[in-house]
Structure 1
Amino acid sequence: MTDSPAPWPAGAPDPDPQDDEALRERAVAALLTARERTTLLTDSVDDHDLTAQHSPLMSPLVWDLAHIGNQEELWLLRGVAGREAMRPEIDGLYDAFEHPRAARPSLPLLAPADARSYAAEVRGRALDVLGSTPLGGRPLLRAGFAFGMIAQHEQQHDETMLITHQLRTGPAALSAPEPPRAADAAVLPAEVLVPAGPFTMGTSTEPWALDNERPAHHREVAGFFIDTAPVTCGAYRAFIEDGGYTEQRWWTPEGWAMVREHELTAPLFWHRDAGQWLRRRFGVTEPVPADEPVLHVSWYEADAYARWAGRRLPTEPEWEKAARHDPGSGRSRRYPWGDEDPTPERANLGQRHLRPAPAGAYAAGRSPFGAGQLIGDVWEWTSSDFLPYPGFAPFPYREYSEVFFGPDHKVLRGGSFAVDAVACRGTFRNWDLPVRRQIFSGFRTARDA
């Protein structure tokens, strides 16, 4: 396990020693927040649900739990502190590249009690390392990057485990308050104009940004219109009722093949009963809410809807310009609302709610152009393939991003209600196969100006 041979992140100086304490506090808070959520997700079900595979697309929850601990040990205890392996015999079991998800239940995994004990022991030692390690010098330690990377990794697996909770059958195991409604949704324009011109995409200074977000670079973008909010269930229902899943002309050849093979008629978890569309959400069956962003749609479905609507999906640069560019100053913000960290008034993040907020919510989180809900609520498919930025350098390992670059994966942006703020920025890039529906994915549309 080695640091990148290139200076990274470019343009980000080592923190002042006086900032060490603030960085440590931030890292500790991020790690504790992640572990609190991991505990909720794994303690809310019994051992049978922890060890069962609820879908071949997902790992058993107990695999995620031990994998979180194993990655923390690999990077923080062995990589940062140079300590001996605690349980080297399990490394292969929890290597995400060695065993596909469908095969993981057949592995000799740690039992739930052992997985909890292992993850807890690793965390205790990792906090000791954090308290005694200078946060500078090596790229892996600059601004506490390694600790931030592990906090993000755990939160990403927490999102994966929440997907597994959605896929499991049986009564609800989780609960959360309802998200806020939109006070001015009725007067919001359907779309806003983002004028042509350059903007700065990506980052070279965000301390915990991951390799695929780097480096910052200039992009020239033609003018375009983009939806002020993600496409709603009500709007998507109109697509269904107009024959969206029966009209081949709206679909790419690959998308149409998926529709035919799986006999798709609606988003995942939707079904029709007595003339009404219902959905299953974390163990509860409920009417599909018309004003909520549509969820659990594949890239193919998002693309087909956009074609039907006479529009298109935004490109990744268009999405980021709409979310980050400040036309007044000409600079790119960290978030649509500015440089301040997310708050409950600005975005639906961190599993605070177990659903997206109605379209038009979070007025305080809108961009200078007037587009809202660009952070949180639903991951938003873009039309772009997942590709490296000019000057990309893998860090701290190729398998995080580089091996996924290419036309097979489409980019999603903006996070969802299932994403924690530590793993969601205006520059954060997610990617997945265009067939994926179990993820918390939605979309918004765009058109040329």
Structure 2
Amino acid sequence: MTTPDKNAIAAQLERSRARTVLLTDAVDEDDLLRQHSPLMSPLIWDLAHVGSQEEIWLVRDVGGREPLRPDIDHLYDAFKHARRDRPALPLLDPAEARKYIAQVRDKALDVLDHVRLDERPLLAGGFAFGMIVQHEQQHDETMLATHQLRSGGPVLSAPPPPRSFTRVRGEVFVPGGPFTMGTDTDPWALDNERPAHVVDVPAFLIDAAPVTNAEFAAFIDAGGYDDPRWWSERGWAHRNEAGLVAPMHWFSDQGQWYHRRFGRVDPIAGNEPVVHVGYFEAEAYATWAGKRLPTEIEWEKAARWDPETGRSRRFPWGDDPPGPDHANLGQRHLTPAPVGAYPAGASPLGVHQLIGDVWEWTSSDWHGYPGFCVFPYAEYSEVFFGGDYKVLRGGSFGTDAAAVRGTFRNWDHPIRRQIFSGFRCARDLA
């Protein structure tokens, strides 16, 4: 393993913090303290939580330094307090939270200056620092989702995504046979991405692009939300209980579909991937279309397997990290990009936009790989195994490049729609 560049690690930490500051400085104090949905923490909780995790792992564990604020550990422990209960906690106020995370960061950077990055497994490849970068970026995406749920006018802005450069439609054939899933070599890969293991996959077809707004609107117009034939038993029960009639944030006016997005109302763009749909909606659409959702094994093979070499790449386009021509990531835009906007990011088989734009639901339940080992703590992955979770892959427009790769695994309850989730379909060979 090559020795990690401490300057590059520091730059990743600072880039994550700049995004956190942008998301929290964009609103006034009332919005920082308010809970915009029972599904989400107040923004002020997320702000101090990223500092608390950084203090616990980098300042105390890696650096062996004296705790700054041990008195607040319990307030920012995600397992001690449900999100709906966090507004009632005696949280740090905005000024205190900003001061606290700045103090933590100063100490963490000093630890980075002085620590050896090969002295124990937690530091190999700079893992502990990479874990904190990814943790903060994951909370930044969560805070971006909270912004989507807040009422009031727009406070965030970003340029529109690129136009579609190439026509992408239909299905891609993925040959059967073995491929290597997961990783043993990516220094910042999390425990649930490990170990690398060979999986034999029967041949299948997968959509060349995510399902678009126009395609999903056709499902609605065909009565898809009103016909139990397309829904699983659990899905139909949830559809009725929740009163689902369209993706979250959609509404219809005089025959035109619109959506509310970060304080703005716009007509839906037909060629953008549909977003804010739950697993059950994705599953119903796939059944209606005569298809199914891919397994996460199928998704990863379509994303990583190179038929010329038989090797699994780190990303669909290769091993280099994402650039602006590869994928819609990092809140660079505040919307999914049109299908065909990133031809340089396609996989060797010709599957597009597997990374970025929308998290993609798969049919797989959440569990560890064969040979899974907890590292460095059970609460990141293991405690969720076997629960009511489905796996999502690929990241969204709100996911940072540091927190996604071809092996990265996300998970959530099948009813969740506030996340930036979409899907593509797959099909068995006839």
Q: TM-score interval w.r.t. the shorter chain?
A: over 0.9
Q: In structure 1, how many angstroms separate the alpha carbons of the residues matched to 2:280 and 2:40?
A: 21
Deviation, structure 1 residue 361? 1.6
Partner of 1:363: 343
What is the match of residue 181 of structure 2? 201
> Taking every aligned residue pair, what percent have the same amino acid on both sides?
65
CA-atom RMSD, angstroms? 0.8
Amino acid at match of 2:42: P
Structure 1: gaps spanning 5 or more residues? 1-12
Q: Give the alignment partner of residue 263 of structure 2, picking from 283, 300, 306.
A: 283
Structure 2 counterpart of 1:142, which letter? A
User: Residue 259 of structure 1 corresponds to which residue in structure 2?
Assistant: 239
Query: 1:378 — aligned with what?
Result: 358
> Which consecutive segments of 4 or more residues in structure 1 shift more than 6 A?
none
| Equivalent residue letter for 2:157 | S
Aligned length: 429
Shift of 1:405: 0.8
For normalisation by structure 1, the TM-score amounts to 0.95
Write the distance in 1 (CA, Å) between the matches of 2:426 and 2:341. 20
Letter in 2 for 1:413: R
Tell me which amino acid in the other structure corresponds to 1:316. Answer: E
What do the CA deviations read for 1:294-335 (whole angstroms, capped 9, x no partner)? 000000000000000000000000000000000000000000
Alignment of 1:304-323 (within 5 A): 304-323=284-303
Which amino acid in the other structure matches residue 423 of structure 2? F
Which of 216, 224, 228 is equivalent to 1:236? 216
Tell me by how many angstroms 1:359 deviates: 1.1
Which of 7, 28, 50 aligns to 1:68? It is 50
Whether the aligned pair in 2 keeps the contact of 1:228 and 1:360 (CA below 8 Å) is no
Corresponding residue for residue 412 of structure 1 = 392
Q: Please state if 1:447 is matched with 2:410.
A: no
**56, 80, 84: which one aligns with 1:98:** 80
User: 2:372 & 2:241 partners in 1: Cα distance?
Assistant: 38
Deviations 1:149-181 (A, max 9, x none): 000000000000000000000000100000011
User: Could you say what secondary structure the match of 1:444 adopts?
Assistant: coil
Aligned counterpart in structure 2 of residue 329 of structure 1, from 284, 296, 309: 309
Change beyond 3 A, Cα 1:189–1:231 = closer
TM-score (ref. length: structure 2): 0.99
The letter for the 2-side match of 1:421 is: A
- The one-letter code matched in structure 1 to 2:144 is L
Question: Could you tell me which of 388, 397, 406 is aligned with 1:426?
Answer: 406
Aligned counterparts of 1:425 and 1:226: Cα–Cα separation in 2: 19
- The answer to whether the 8 Å contact 2:169/2:209 transfers is no
- In the alignment, the residues of structure 2 paired with residue 275 and residue 413 of structure 1 have an alpha-carbon distance, to the nearest angstrom, of 33
Q: Separation in 1 of the partners of 2:387 and 2:36? A: 29
What is the one-letter code of the residue matched to 1:371?
V
CA contact (8 A) 2:209 2:351 kept: yes
User: How many Å separate the matches in 1 of 2:286 and 2:387?
Assistant: 20
Cα deviation 1:184-231 (Å, max 9, x = unaligned): 22xx34111000010000000000000000000000000011011100
Secondary structure of the structure 2 residue equivalent to 1:27:
helix
Task: For 1:265, give the aligned amino acid.
Answer: V
Deviation of 1:254 after TM superposition, in Å, equals: 1.2
Rounded to whole Å, the distance in 2 between the matches of 1:318 and 1:182 is 26
Question: Residue type of the partner of 2:358?
Answer: V
Q: Distance in 2 between matches of 1:183 and 1:41?
A: 31
Asked if residue 437 in structure 1 is aligned to residue 417 in structure 2, the reply is: yes
Cα distance between partner residues in 1 of 2:166 and 2:39: 39
Q: 2:155 aligns with which of 169, 173, 179?
A: 173
Residues 266, 218 of structure 1: CA spacing in aligned structure 2 closer, same or farther, 3 A cutoff?
same
Q: Secondary structure at the match of 1:91?
A: helix
2:329 alignment partner, one of 346, 349, 353: 349
Q: 1:127 aligns with which of 77, 90, 109?
A: 109
> In the TM superposition, what is the alpha-carbon distance from 1:258 to its structure 2 partner?
1.2
**Aligned residue for 1:215?**
195
Asked whether the equivalents of residues 53 and 59 of structure 1 are also in contact (C-alpha less than 8 Å), the reply is yes
Instruction: Please report how far the alpha carbon of residue 407 of structure 1 lies from its aligned counterpart in structure 2 after TM superposition.
Output: 4.8
Is contact 1:182-1:362 (8 Å) kept? yes
Instruction: Report the equivalent of 2:127.
Output: 145
**1:46 — aligned with what?**
28
2:139 pairs, out of 157, 167, 189, with 157
SS at match of 2:121: coil
Q: SS at the partner of 2:10?
A: helix
The one-letter amino acid of 1:132's match is H
